[in-house]
Amino acid sequence: MSRGGLKRTIWTGIAATVAVVVVVAVAIVIAEFWSSIGDSGISVAGWFAMGLGIVVTLALGIGLMSLVFFSNRRGYDEIARRDPDSAGQVNLGSKKLTNPSDWRST
Quote the pTM value: 0.41
Q: What integer pLDDT is reported at residue 66 of this predicted model?
A: 93
Q: What is the pLDDT of residues 37-55, one digit of tens each?
A: 777 678 899 989 999 999 9
The low-confidence residues of the chain, meaning pLDDT below 50, are 106
In 10 A of CB 92, how many CB atoms? 17
Q: What integer pLDDT is reported at residue 37 of this predicted model?
A: 77
Q: What integer pLDDT is reported at residue 29 of this predicted model?
A: 94
Sign of the Cα torsion 70, 76, 81, 86 reads: positive
Q: What integer pLDDT is reported at residue 89 of this predicted model?
A: 58
Q: What is the pLDDT of residues 61-72, one digit of tens each?
A: 999 999 998 888
Alpha-carbon separation of residue 59 from 65, 73, 100 (angstroms): 10, 21, 41
